[in-house]
Structure 1
Amino acid sequence: MARLTPPAIVILGPGALATARRIQTRYAGCQVHALQGRVEADVSYTELGAHLCDLYARGTPIVALCAAGIVIRCVAPLLSNKGVEPPVLAVAEDGSAVVPLLGGLAGVNVMAREIAAALAVSPAITTSGELRFGTCVLNPPDGYALADIAQGKRFVSDLLAGESTRIEGEAPWLDAAQLPRSDSARLAIRVTPRAWDGRDDELVIHPRSVVAAVTVPGARVGAGAGASGSGSASAGAGSPSATNADHGANSSSDSQTGSGARVAALVREALDAHGLAPLSLAALLAPSEHMADPALADAAASLNVPLRFAQPRPEDGEPPSNLLHAALRVPYQTLHDDANARVALALAALAIDPDTIGRTRGRLTVIGLGPGSADLMVPAARTALNEATDILGYETYVKMAGPLRADQHVHGTDNREEMQRAHHAFELASTGRSVVMVSSGDPGVFAMAAAVLEALEEGGSKNADWRAVQLAIVPGVSAAMATAAQAGAPLGHDFCMLSLSDNLKPWTIIEKRLRHAAEADLVMAFYNPISRARPWQLDKALDIVREYRAAATKVVLGRDIGRPGSTLRTITLGELRSSDVDMRTMVIVGSSTTRGFANGIDGGEWVYTPRWYE
C-alpha cells in the first residue's frame, strides 16, 4: 500500500539518535522528532503523548524509538477504526527490536520488514494471517482495493480455522503466498472489477482497471489566474455549470461543489449500469481545456481517484471516447460510450497505473521555510515539499528545505534571479509537474510570492498553459515574527515592515516611508538593513528615526533567529550603531510605548508594545 506521508521517527533522548538516523536513510523526506531541550533533531516537541496523538490523528506513520507500552498508552484514546489507522511501530533505542503495533491494513508489517532489514534484525511480526500465509491478503498492493474489510476479516478467520480457497482472476502477488488452495474450495479470492454481490464465501479484491472519461459541454470553464490580466492568486478558479442532458440540469448559478457532485454522480451511474465497483475506478479523465475547472477536481475528490487530462486529435473520434483513445496506453474495452451521458468507460484487463494516463494538472506552490528551524516550518510547507517533483529557489534556501528525496529535481539559482526563477517554475508546472518555489520566512514578505504573481500576470496573458497551473501560496513565519517572538511581543500594536535595500526602489522612497512611519509612531521592522554595497544606509535611516523617537526607545536585534548560532539583543535607539548590525540581522525599533522588564534569564528582558495608548 502506498504511503502518502513519510514516517515521523520519534525519539526521547540522545541514545536513540544514531538508530533514528539509520532508519531515516530508508525513507526519503522523513524527519527525526525529538523532545525539546534533550536532543537536537529535525523537529522538536514538548510532550510525547500529545505529539504522538497529533501525528496519529493526521495519518502520519509513526516510528517511535521507545517502549511499546509507552506508545500504546499514548495513542489508545484515538483507537477506533482499524481501516483508517496509520502504521505505528515501536523500535528499541539500540535497534535490536522492531515491533509493528498498528496499521496492519496500511502496510505496517511491510515497514517493519524494511526497518528491520536496515537494522539487520528480524521484525517481531505477530499477525496470524501473515505468519501463516506469508502475506496479508487484506492489504493488496498498489492498484488493487479490498471490497469490504469486515467481510475480509471473516474470510481470513475461516482460512486460519482450516478452510482452503481458490483464486479467480489475476493476483500475481499471491503466487508466492502459502495459502491453503483447492480448486474445489468453498471459499474464493476473486479479483474482479465487478461489484461484490455480498456473498460471504468470497474475498473480493478490485483491480483499479477502469477509467472514466467525461465531457462537460455546457460548463463555463474557469480560465485560471491571470486570464484577464489581473494577476489573481486563485489560479484555476472559475464558475463552471456542468450541464446534464439526462437529468435536465442547466444552471450556471449552481455551486462548484454541486457541479462536481453531478459529474461524480454521472460516473457512478455509468459504473453501476455495467455492474462495476466504484473501487475499480483508476482515474477520472477530462479534456485538457477543462484543466482549471474546479468542478472536475471536486468530482475526482468525491470519487477518490486522480484527475487526468488529454488533448484528443481529430482521428481519435468523438467525445468522450476520444479522450480514452488519446490518453490510454494499454488495450481496453470501451463501455457506456453515449454522447447524451457524456461518460465513456474504459475497462482494461489489468490494473492501470494512473501515471500512465494522459497528464496531470501542474501545480506551483510557493512556500516559506520560516526563519530556519524545522519546527518553525508550517506543516503545509513540509507537505508541499514531500509531494514535489521539482524544487526551485535560492541555493541556500533549497538546502535548508531538506532532507529531499533522490528522485526530486533541485533547481538552485542565485538570489538575484527571481523573475527567471518564476518563469522557470511556470514552465515546469505547465507540463504537469508538481513544483515548489522556496523562500525563507514568509513567501509574501519581501520574497518570491510577489515575483511569481508578477510573472503570471505578464506571461499568463500569452500562455494558456501557465493559466491552467494550480497555484497556491503557503505562508511561513517571517523573520520579524520569529525575532519578535523571541524578544516577547514588540509587534504587539501597530507596526510596519520596511526593507532598507534600494535595489528595487529608490532611496528617496525609503526615506519618505521611514519618516512617515516614525512620525506615525509605528513599531518598525527593518529587513536588509545593511550590506557591503550600502554600508551608510542604516545610519541614514537611524538619523531619520531619531528625529521622532527618544534615545531610550527599545530596539531588538535578532541575528539568524531560528538557525544555529542565533543571537538576540535588546538595546536602546541611542546605543544602536550600524556596527551592531549585518545583513542577517532583523532590526525592530519600538514605538514610544514599547517597554521592557527583566525576564530573570541571563540578565535578559522581555520587550513588548502594549495594545493601548495612554
Structure 2
Amino acid sequence: MEPRAHAAILVLNPVALATARRIQAVTGGAIHGLAGRVEGADVTFDDTMAHIRALFVAHTPIIGICAAGILIRALGAALGDKHLDSPVVAVSEDGASIVPLIGGHHGANDLARVLAGALGGHAAITTAGDTVFGVVLDAPPEGYRLANPADAKPVMAALLAGEAARIEGEADWLRQATFAKSADAAIRLVVTDAATPGDEKTLVYHPRHLAVGVGCARGCAASELRDLVMGALEEAGLAAGAVGAVVSLDLKADELAMAELAKALDAPLRVFDAAALERETPRLANPSDVVFAEVGCHGVSEGAALAAVGAGGALVVAKRKSANATVAIARAPQPLDVESIGRARGKLSIVGIGPGKDAWRTPEAGALIAEAESVVGYGLYLDLIAPLIMNTERHVFPLGAEEERVRFALELAGKGRTVALISSGDAGIYAMGALAYELVDRDPGKGGISDAARRVEIVGTPGISALQAAASRIGAPLGHDFCTISLSDLLTPWETIEQRLRAAAVGDFIVAFYNPVSKRRRTQLARARDILLEHRPADTPVVLGVNLGRAEETLRVTTLEALTVDEVDMLTVVLVGSSATRAIQRAGRTPYVYTPRGYAKKLEPALAEGIDE
C-alpha cells in the first residue's frame, strides 16, 4: 500500500507524540494535536469530538493515537454506508496495537498492516475474509466489480462454515484465496463480463476491461446517448458493470450527455486528442472521411474505444448510431488502468475556506481540497490550510495577481488535472469565483482561456464570509435587510461606489463594507461614513471585526459618528447598522449588537387586545 498523503494523525497528549512522529514518517500525514496539551503539532484543535467528526465527513483518513472508544463515540452518528466510509485506525500510545475500526475494506486494513510493520506492533484485523481467506468477497480489488453484493454475506458464511467454492473464469486474486475449492461445488464465484445473474450461492464479478467509446452531436440528449449505449451492451450480452471507462474525443469533454453516461455506468470519462484517435485508423471497422474533415480523425467512438484498450485489445461492438450519437465497445485483456488512458476532463473546485479557522471550514470544502492534485492560491490562504496540503502540488501567487492566478488554475485543469482554487471567506463574494466564470465567458481573442480550459468541470463550495463571521461574533446585526459594498475603486469607479452608498443610505440598509481602506486609499471610508450620517443617527452602532476566526481576532463596537479611518485596515470588515440597529451594553464586555425584525410591533395588537379584555 502507498502511504496516505492526507491522513490526520490524532494526538491527545504529549506521551503519544513520539509514536505520532514515527507514523508521520511512514504516511506523510499531518499531526493534529489537542490545543494546550500537545506542542509542535501541525494542526491544533480545541474540541476533540467535533474535530474527529469534521475530518471524517471530509473523507480524511484518521489515525487516532488514543482509546478506540473516543473515536467510536465521536463518529457514531456520522457513520453511513460502509462502502463509502473513510479509513479510521486506532493506535495505542506505544504503537504496539493497531486496530482498523472503520473502512477496513477501503484502506484501513492495509494502513494497519503498514503501521504494524513500521511500529513493530500487531495489526488487529477482524474482518473475516481478511483473517481467514486473505480475500474480501464483497470488496474485490481494483479493476473488478461485484454484481450482487447483497449475496456476499451468505456466500462468505458458507465458506466460513467449510463449504468449497467453484471458480469460473480467470482472476488470480480468487485463485490465491485459501478457502476450499472444488470443480463441482455448489458455491460459484463467476468472473465474466457477460450479463450473468447471481444469487445467494453465486457471486458474479465483472472485470472492468470494457471501454465504451462514444461520440455525439453538440447538446445531444443524455437519454439518447444512454439508451444507445445500454442497448449496445444488452445486444452484445455484456454487463454494464464490466465497463471500466467511457472514452471520447477531447472536443466532447464538456458534453452533459457523456458526463451523465459516465455517472450512470459509474465509470470515469477519459478523452483523447484527435491525433491519438487518428493513430487507430488502421484498426477501425468504419473509418469516415466526413468525420476526419470535421474533427481531424477518422472515427471517434471506435477510435476512442481502441485507444483505451491498447494494442492487445479489440472491438467487440463496432460503431452503432442513433440520430445524434455513436457508440463502439472494445475489450482489453486485463482490467483497464484508467490513469493511463488519455486524460480526465479536468476539474476546478473553487473553494472558500472561510476566515481560516478549521471549525469554520465546511466538510465539503475539506473534501474538495483533499481530492485535489494541485492547489492554487495567494500564499496566505494556502498557509491557512497548510496541514491539509502537505503532500499536494502548490502554486502560489502574490496579492494583486488575481487574474493570473485564476487563469493558471483553469488552464491546469484543462490539462486533465483536479485543481482547487483557494479563497478566504466565500469564493463567490468579492473573490475568485466571479473571475473564473468571467474568463470562461470571455472571448479567447480578448484575454480568454483555451478551449480545453473552457471545457473543464467547475464546482463551487460556500465558505463563511467576513460579514457572517463578524455578525455571529457580536450578536445579530444582520437581522434585517442588508447589503455589502466594496470601497475599493481599483476595479470600480468611485462615482459608481458613491451612487451605491447613497442608495443604501436612503434605503436604510445595514451595510457591510469590504476593502474599507488600504495604504493608498485613506478617504473612501470617511466619505462613506458622511453619506450614511445624512440618513441615520450619529449613534448608529458600527462593528469592526479584525482577523475573524484567527488567533489575532478582535471585535470592537463604536458609533457611526466616532468611526475613524485609523482604526480600520484591509483585514477589517465594517458593519454599519441601520436606523433600527441597537447595541446592548454589558459591563466590562463588548456590547451585543442586533437589528430587530419587528416582532415587537407584531406583538403590540395582541397585547392591546388582551388589555381591552
Structure 2 length as normaliser, TM-score?
Answer: 0.80
Residue of structure 1 in register with 2:467 after alignment:
480
Residue of structure 1 in register with 2:480 after alignment:
493
- In the TM superposition, residue 560 of structure 1 has moved relative to its aligned partner by 0.3
Secondary structure of the structure 2 residue equivalent to 1:443: coil
1:418 matches 2:402: yes
- In the TM superposition, residue 432 of structure 1 has moved relative to its aligned partner by 1.9
- In the TM superposition, residue 208 of structure 1 has moved relative to its aligned partner by 1.1
Cα–Cα, structure 1 residues 66 and 358, in superposed 2: closer, same or farther, change >3 Å?
same
- AA paired with 2:247? L
- AA paired with 1:295? A
Whether the 8 Å contact between 1:308 and 1:358 is mirrored in structure 2 is yes
Of 265, 280, 283, the match for 1:303: 265
Q: What are the superposed Cα offsets for residues 526-559 of structure 1, whole Å, 9 maximum, x if unpaired?
A: 2222222233443344344344443322111111
Of 226, 239, 249, the match for 1:287: 249
1:339 matches 2:320: yes
- AA paired with 1:133? F
1:607 matches 2:593: yes
- AA paired with 2:574? V
- AA paired with 1:194? A
Distance 1:33 1:120 in 2: 23
Of 337, 343, 347, the match for 1:353: 337
- In the TM superposition, residue 373 of structure 1 has moved relative to its aligned partner by 0.8
Alignment of structure 1 residues 352-371 onto 2, 5 Å = 352-371=336-355
Distance 1:324 1:81 in 2: 33
Distance 2:501 2:19 in 1: 53
1:510 matches 2:517: no
Of 433, 443, 451, the match for 2:427: 443
Distance 1:404 1:66 in 2: 21
Structure 1 stretch displaced more, 445-454 or 34-43:
34-43
Q: What are the superposed Cα offsets for residues 109-138 of structure 1, whole Å, 9 maximum, x if unpaired?
A: 223223444554212122343223344354
Distance 2:72 2:48 in 1: 15
Whether the 8 Å contact between 2:54 and 2:363 is mirrored in structure 1 is no
Residue of structure 2 in register with 1:97 after alignment:
97
Cα–Cα, structure 1 residues 598 and 65, in superposed 2: closer, same or farther, change >3 Å?
farther
Whether the 8 Å contact between 1:391 and 1:436 is mirrored in structure 2 is yes
- AA paired with 2:465? S
Q: What are the superposed Cα offsets for residues 569-602 of structure 1, whole Å, 9 maximum, x if unpaired?
A: 11223333323222211121222211122467x6
1:539 matches 2:526: yes
The RMSD of aligned alpha carbons is 4.0
Residue of structure 1 in register with 2:576 after alignment:
589
- In the TM superposition, residue 350 of structure 1 has moved relative to its aligned partner by 0.7
Alignment of structure 1 residues 153-552 onto 2, 5 Å = 153-163=153-163, 170-173=170-173, 178=178, 189-198=189-198, 204-216=204-216, 219=217, 221-222=218-219, 240-241=220-221, 259-260=222-223, 262-310=224-272, 311=274, 312-313=277-278, 315=281, 317=287, 318-340=299-321, 342-405=326-389, 408-460=392-444, 463-552=450-539
Distance 1:2 1:194 in 2: 33
- In the TM superposition, residue 413 of structure 1 has moved relative to its aligned partner by 0.9
Secondary structure of the structure 1 residue equivalent to 2:416: coil
Cα–Cα, structure 1 residues 153 and 552, in superposed 2: closer, same or farther, change >3 Å?
same
Residue of structure 2 in register with 1:109 after alignment:
109
Whether the 8 Å contact between 2:302 and 2:318 is mirrored in structure 1 is yes
Q: What are the superposed Cα offsets for residues 346-391 of structure 1, whole Å, 9 maximum, x if unpaired?
A: 1111111122222221222222111111221222222222222222
Secondary structure of the structure 2 residue equivalent to 1:471: strand
Structure 1 stretch displaced more, 419-428 or 66-75:
66-75
Structure 1 length as normaliser, TM-score?
Answer: 0.80
Secondary structure of the structure 2 residue equivalent to 1:498: strand
Residue of structure 1 in register with 2:124 after alignment:
124
Whether the 8 Å contact between 1:530 and 1:537 is mirrored in structure 2 is yes
Distance 1:439 1:107 in 2: 31
Distance 1:97 1:504 in 2: 59
Aligned length: 574
Cα–Cα, structure 1 residues 76 and 583, in superposed 2: closer, same or farther, change >3 Å?
closer
Cα–Cα, structure 1 residues 395 and 190, in superposed 2: closer, same or farther, change >3 Å?
same
Cα–Cα, structure 1 residues 132 and 11, in superposed 2: closer, same or farther, change >3 Å?
same
Cα–Cα, structure 1 residues 165 and 35, in superposed 2: closer, same or farther, change >3 Å?
farther
Whether the 8 Å contact between 2:13 and 2:37 is mirrored in structure 1 is no
Distance 2:376 2:56 in 1: 31
- AA paired with 1:280? A
Cα–Cα, structure 1 residues 38 and 520, in superposed 2: closer, same or farther, change >3 Å?
farther
Residue of structure 1 in register with 2:607 after alignment:
none
Residue of structure 1 in register with 2:609 after alignment:
none
- AA paired with 2:278? R
Distance 1:569 1:503 in 2: 28
Cα–Cα, structure 1 residues 294 and 349, in superposed 2: closer, same or farther, change >3 Å?
same
- AA paired with 1:112? A
Distance 1:541 1:77 in 2: 49
- AA paired with 2:143? G
Cα–Cα, structure 1 residues 340 and 455, in superposed 2: closer, same or farther, change >3 Å?
closer
Alignment of structure 1 residues 48-87 onto 2, 5 Å = 48=49, 63=63, 66-69=66-69, 86-87=86-87
Distance 1:397 1:57 in 2: 22
Secondary structure of the structure 2 residue equivalent to 1:412: strand
Distance 2:210 2:375 in 1: 33
Distance 1:64 1:107 in 2: 15
- AA paired with 2:484? M
Distance 1:586 1:78 in 2: 35
Secondary structure of the structure 2 residue equivalent to 1:334: strand
Distance 1:153 1:474 in 2: 38
Residue of structure 2 in register with 1:251 after alignment:
none
Structure 1 stretch displaced more, 564-573 or 38-47:
38-47
Residue of structure 2 in register with 1:245 after alignment:
none
- In the TM superposition, residue 301 of structure 1 has moved relative to its aligned partner by 0.9
Cα–Cα, structure 1 residues 267 and 14, in superposed 2: closer, same or farther, change >3 Å?
farther
Distance 1:96 1:151 in 2: 36
Distance 2:429 2:83 in 1: 43
Distance 1:128 1:364 in 2: 41
Richer in helix (by share): 2
- AA paired with 1:305? A
Whether the 8 Å contact between 1:5 and 1:61 is mirrored in structure 2 is no
Structure 1 stretch displaced more, 576-585 or 113-122:
113-122
Structure 1 stretch displaced more, 541-550 or 391-400:
541-550
- AA paired with 1:486? R
